[in-house]
Structure 1
Amino acid sequence: MPLNSIRVLDLSRLLPGPYCTMLLADFGAEVIKVEEPVKGDYAREYEPKLDKNSAMFHSLNRNKKSICLDLKTTEGKDTFLKMAEDADVVVESFRPGVMERLGLGYETLRRINPRLVYCAVTGFGQTGPYANKPGHDINYLSYAGLLNLMGEKDGKPVVPASQIADIGGGALPAAVGILLALFEREKSGKGQFVDVSMMDGVISWLQTLLPDYLATEKAPGRGEQMLDGGRACYAVYETKDERFIAVGALEPKFWEAFCHVIGRSDFIPLLEAPLHEQYRLKYEIQTIISQKTLEEWVMLFSEVEACVSPVLTFEEMVKHPQVAAREMIQSVKHSGLGSVKQIGIPIKLSETPVKIETQAPKLGEHTNELKPEKN
């Protein structure tokens, strides 16, 4: 396993930090969840539950261990400091200053372990006037300017169903930052502080929108861009049976094939038509798409390269042959529940393939095993 010599102390809760450490655990790192006694990670309490813990908790915390420590007590702090002496990575998602007030901040930990990589995942980062502000995914999207561009032209901004800032802006950059710091440590022998802001991460995702504004100072409008549903060739259309198809016919060859299938070859020259013409095209295409069911359109496009796909439900997605071939839904053995279905691992390595080895830990399950002996 690529990371089987790496020990991670994970103080994070809920989604961003645990997703980051899940990636590390999946690839062999020994990830130890350091949880407060009694309640532990708040995500344990979410519904629906599989046993005493939520389905989401089981998914995010597979391949990990759990130890209970009260970091507000001298004993808890001393135990954590002792564990940090041999750790490679610490991950936390508190607001800036919390770990320092506990006496467990980066400067303290680096003195006892100069090789330690310390990663803090926060909403706004460790610096700046908003560093100590609270927030959630929707707030980071709004400050980054992305939420303003999500939705139809004349509608209000649409909240995404999955957490873009938490995972894309926080968890993934954190995992990359940790791996970069570990890689650099091989050369210098020193660890470092990895400062990840979820708002920063979202801004960095705006590669198809923000560079144009920075160059022209012309603000983009909601529902008016190439990839946000403003163009007829890149949009969602409703079928006769109140289902939907997604059309991504951006390139001329795909657009041409799409137009032939819907019987409107006269639309082919209008791929790059002005915005007002795009609205007319979308209206006319919607009229055509609404004349057949989803299954009928899927059959018509099945042998045509036009980048057209059905908008699947979860029930359909988990049974899809491509999802099955990529093992993105896996059945995992659980000592108390039998077989549990979980989300698979998205990174496939040819020489060191990985799998889900162990179930999510019970609260404090490994406390006795992992707690250092007193001198």
Structure 2
Amino acid sequence: MAGPLAGLKVLEFAGIGPAPFCAMVLGDLGADVIRLARPGTSTDARDVTTRNRRTVTLDLRSEGAVEQALELVAAADCLIEGFRPGVMEKLGLGPKECLAANPRLIYGRMTGWGQHGPLSHAAGHDINYIAITGALHAIGRADDTPPPPLNYVGDFGGGGMLLAVGLLAALNEAARSGRGQVVDAAMTDGTALLSAFMYGMKAMGQWSNQRGENLLDGGAHFYDTYACADGKFVAIGAIEPQFYAEFCQRCGIDDPLFKGQMDASRWPLLKIRLADVFRTRTRDEWCEVLEGTDACFAPVLDWDEAPKHPHNAARGTYVTLDGVLQPAPAPRFSRTSNSTPHAAAATSMDDALHAWRAPVAAGP
């Protein structure tokens, strides 16, 4: 497919969660991704994170399988694996063997805890990994337990997306040095990195350790979600004074108490009063009043509503592939635009090797 990573060859050892997501992102951007999967692994189009690749089935514990896998490794630019530390080494496909077969290879390792450390061999999932970084503690209401924020923060933001950044950074270095290397992407490290802004705010005395007391965690009345008359929700983010003033004006708020926007002592009471305001109209009625203005407003849409929103529809933010509605590739590029993604397709080892060994056509 088209895209700025056209010509990049990525070998993915099939797994779950952040590693497939990373491979999807690279495939969306034009990389040629081959997914090496154990027998019986599905190529179901409903598994969105497996799009934009060809799948080769191979039992790595069978005779001669490791040698076949190393043939693909020798032709690849990047490798992605998401197993516990030591698993690839036991298979004979660790960094030592793979870099021996391909000294320019970028070997990407995706784990929760990282390749070393006291917890590196323990089982875990997204919620565990983000728990030890401070991020999970900071999410949620002051009077409740921290909620599981889906698996956006650890798996996909601090995990798969950071692995993609690491792979591309290492590729850039390899273009100069001619040498590959290992990228150790841990969700604990990535989640901590995503928290850089909050740690900075805390250092400046502008962020409390207590949930629900801060500017961006639901503490402020002007940065939160509210229920409407129909039980649906809206999101408000009117931080800047001029946006806050427009928000209050459009909502018909003339209570002088609202003029002390940044007086945190007023926030709990103002949240109650603002909740009363939003309960006077339905979500759609509030959209008529606030959407598209500088009041920093948006309706809270569900999975079915979001693709139909006029802004998302105009930008083509969602696409339908084999009957499956899903997010379109992002970001956008001015010249090397991404084409519509394609579903995962099975291919043979011979065909995969032939495609990767074929000379790359010269550019214009």
Q: Which TM-score applies when normalising by structure 1? A: 0.88
Letter in 2 for 1:344: A
TM-fit CA distance, 1:148: 1.3
Deviations 1:145-178 (A, max 9, x none): 1111211111111111343210001111111111
In 1, the alpha carbon distance for the partners of 2:143 and 2:240 equals: 27
TM-fit CA distance, 1:3: 2.1
TM-fit CA distance, 1:36: 0.8
2:357 paired with 1:367: no
In 2, the alpha carbon distance for the partners of 1:127 and 1:250 equals: 41
2:245 paired with 1:245: no
Give ranges in structure 1 of 5+ residues lacking alignment: 45-51
Matched position secondary structure for 2:197: coil
In 2, the alpha carbon distance for the partners of 1:331 and 1:205 equals: 31
In structure 2, which of residues 88, 91, 101 is the aligned counterpart of residue 99 of structure 1? 88
Letter in 2 for 1:173: L
- 2:258–2:270 contact (8 Å) kept in structure 1: no
In 2, the alpha carbon distance for the partners of 1:208 and 1:87 equals: 36
Cα separation, partners in 2 of 1:64 and 1:117, compared to 1, 3 Å: same
Map of 1:47 onto structure 2: none
User: RMSD of aligned C-alpha atoms?
Assistant: 2.0
TM-fit CA distance, 1:311: 0.9
Map of 1:155 onto structure 2: 144
Aligned length: 351
TM alignment of 1:88-127, pairs within 5 A: 88-127=77-116
Map of 1:135 onto structure 2: 124
- 1:213–1:219 contact (8 Å) kept in structure 2: yes
Map of 2:213 onto structure 1: 224
2:347 paired with 1:356: no
- 1:152–1:222 contact (8 Å) kept in structure 2: yes
Map of 1:65 onto structure 2: 54
Map of 2:44 onto structure 1: 53
Deviations 1:279-330 (A, max 9, x none): 0000011112111111221112246421011111222211111111221111
Letter in 2 for 1:83: L
In 2, the alpha carbon distance for the partners of 1:107 and 1:303 equals: 55
Q: Which TM-score applies when normalising by structure 2? A: 0.91
TM-fit CA distance, 1:75: 1.0
In structure 2, which of residues 20, 26, 29 is the aligned counterpart of residue 27 of structure 1? 29
In 1, the alpha carbon distance for the partners of 2:290 and 2:76 equals: 54
In structure 1, which of residues 269, 272, 277 is the aligned counterpart of residue 262 of structure 2? 272
In 1, the alpha carbon distance for the partners of 2:289 and 2:11 equals: 53
2:7 paired with 1:5: yes
In 1, the alpha carbon distance for the partners of 2:206 and 2:29 equals: 43
TM-fit CA distance, 1:206: 1.0
TM-fit CA distance, 1:229: 0.5
TM-fit CA distance, 1:62: 1.6
Deviations 1:190-249 (A, max 9, x none): 111111001111111113322244566985111111101100110111111111111101
- 1:33–1:64 contact (8 Å) kept in structure 2: yes
Matched position secondary structure for 2:221: coil
2:294 paired with 1:305: yes
Identity value in percent: 34
Letter in 2 for 1:367: M
